[in-house]
Amino acid sequence: MEKTWRWFGKKDNITLDMLRQIGVEGIVTALHDVPNGEIWTSEAINDLKDHIESHGLRWSVVESLPVSESIKYGGNDRDELLEKYRISLANLGKAGVKTVCYNFMPVIDWIRTDLRKKNEDGTFSLYFDKIRFAYFDLKILKREGAEKDYSESETEQVRELDKTITEAEKDELINNIIVKTQGFVNGNIKEGDQNPVAIFKRLLSLYEGIDKHQLRENMKYFLKQVIPTAEEYGVNLCVHPDDPPFAVLGLPRIVTSAEDIDWFLSAVDSPNNGLTFCAGSLSAGLHNNVPQLAERFAKRTHFVHLRSTNVNSNGNFIEASHLAGRGCLIDLVRVFEKENPALPMRIDHGRLMLDDVNRTYHPGYSFLGRMYALAQVDGIMATVKDELNQNQQ
């Protein structure tokens, strides 16, 4: 697979020259300064592409071309937004940037409650704590009807937590769940926004009455409108699975399992309608057997995120080492190297380690932690390629 790296544009303090030194071949990025829903012009695309190429790299993948909320909930202006989406896609295709990742998660992209969970060895990982998340839902959002989504024991644990949690911890929880993990991935709330909880509640209200069936219909509508353009310009669209892969906050989530993936692939059965195989997201659902999913969907996979998790029996999960956990990355590399060795692959999230802790990175996107994981995966890839070559002789 092609070794790619998520780079946040010219303002990223991890420079393209640094990436050259650590063996990165392709860049995964977006026009982060263009507001969601606006057209990506050919000029802006080519400017960034030329910049990347002037450093001896190529722009391999767009992550993400964001899908506006209104397209997801089916608002009045969705056709207008879809037209802009098609123009952006066409402009990317004309520029030769042909792999485009997006997601169809309502309101909130990926979710973590703790951005610095200390491991025994002194490094830090991202973490999802179900009770803290339930606390956010029940006690901070005070979402109507939320109680029915939690068991009695979970509700009891939330009550206990309420006795000890400090105001600072509550603020941190809000920041982690809806601010720090969202803004930099072109999510709905950015650092500095006033009263994020109120913004968030307003967004949630847009989805009243939208169940799983309706969200699927809206995704199908989206795919029907954009896949013909993707076909015309040779662009491979690939949806990112929901992270974590289950319904949250009363919102449906529709890219969580083999059944969901089958559904959207056949909703518009085109090779240009594909999957971003995010092993980390998929592995956080105990219902998913990640290597089996890879076998089954490799042919419609256009982009691979390598990351792993360990899930506790109570549903908490931690981002694991890239050599361990439910992601089974060694098996995945075997599948993808065999099926499609040209697939772009990026290390998804790394730990915070060594000098990372003294620097400011977006959550999950450390330099040393990701570089370390890239070296591990590079070793796996070299071994697997060697195995494949020997088998062919």
69 binds ligand DNO (CB under 6 A): no
Distance CA(292)–CA(236), nearest Å, equals: 23
Query: If DSSP codes are grouped into helix, strand and coil, which group holds residue 177?
Result: helix
Of 261 and 384, CB closest to ligand DNO:
261
Q: How far is the CB of 293 from ligand DNO (least distance, A)?
A: 17
Q: How many other C-beta atoms can be found within 10 angstroms of the C-beta atom of residue 38?
A: 14
Is residue 290 within 8 Å of 281, Cβ to Cβ? Answer: no
**Judging by DSSP bridges, how do beta strands 2-6 and 58-63 pair with one another?**
unpaired
- Residues 181-210, interacting with ligand DNO (CB under 6 A): 185
Binding span for ligand DNO by CB under 6 A among 101-109, 200-208, 213-221, 328-336? 101-109
What CA–CA distances, in Å, run from 326 to 48, 208, 280?
36, 34, 8
Candidate ranges 90-98, 100-108, 129-137, 285-293; the one touching ligand DNO (CB under 6 A)? 100-108
Helix extents (H) in the chain = 16-21, 42-53, 69-73, 78-95, 130-135, 152-164, 167-174, 196-205, 212-233, 258-267, 279-283, 290-297, 329-339, 368-392
Contact set for ligand DNO, span 319-378 (CB under 6 A): 348, 364
Positions marked catalytic: 240, 278, 305, 348-349, 365
Of 64 and 188, nearer to ligand DNO (C-beta) is 64
Residue 172 sits in the site that holds ligand DNO (CB under 6 A) = no
Which residues inside 233-272 make contact with ligand DNO, applying CB under 6 A? Answer: 240
Rounded to the nearest 5°, which phi and psi values hold at 280? Answer: -65, -50
Strand pairing class (236-240; 124-128): unpaired
* Amino acid, single-letter form, for residue 183: G
| Long-range pairs of 197-206 with CB within 8 A, sequence gap ≥ 24 | 197/140, 197/141, 200/107, 200/108, 200/141, 201/141, 203/69, 203/107, 204/107, 204/141, 204/143, 204/249, 204/250, 204/251, 206/69, 206/73, 206/75, 206/107
Shortest Å, Cβ 389 to ligand DNO? 32
User: Does 110 engage in binding with ligand DNO (CB under 6 A)?
Assistant: yes
103 touches ligand DNO by CB under 6 A? yes
Should residue 302 be labelled a site residue for ligand DNO when binding is judged by CB under 6 A? no
Minimal distance, residue 220 CB to ligand DNO, in Å:
18
How many residues of this chain bind ligand DNO (CB under 6 A)?
Answer: 11
- Yes or no: say if 63 and 101 are a contact pair by the CB < 8 Å rule: yes
Smallest separation (angstroms) from ligand DNO to the CB of 285: 15
Shortest gap between Cβ of 304 and ligand DNO (angstroms)? 12
CA of 161: how far to CAs of 121, 129, 148, 220, in Å? 27, 12, 19, 41
Q: Does 108 bind ligand DNO (CB under 6 A)?
A: no
Distance CA 289, CA 377 (A): 20
Of 8 and 221, CB closest to ligand DNO: 8
85 binds ligand DNO (CB under 6 A): no
Span interacting with ligand DNO, options 51-59, 97-105, 202-210, 262-270, rule CB under 6 A? 97-105
If one asks whether residue 102 binds ligand DNO (CB under 6 A), the answer comes out as yes
Q: Rounded to the nearest whole angstrom, what is the least distance from the CB of residue 364 to ligand DNO in the complex?
A: 5
> Site for ligand DNO (CB under 6 A): which residue of 45, 101, 282, 347?
101
- By CB under 6 A, is residue 64 in contact with ligand DNO? yes
Distance of alpha carbon 34 from alpha carbon 41, whole angstroms: 10
For binding to ligand DNO (CB under 6 A), which residues are involved? 63-64, 101-103, 109-110, 185, 240, 348, 364
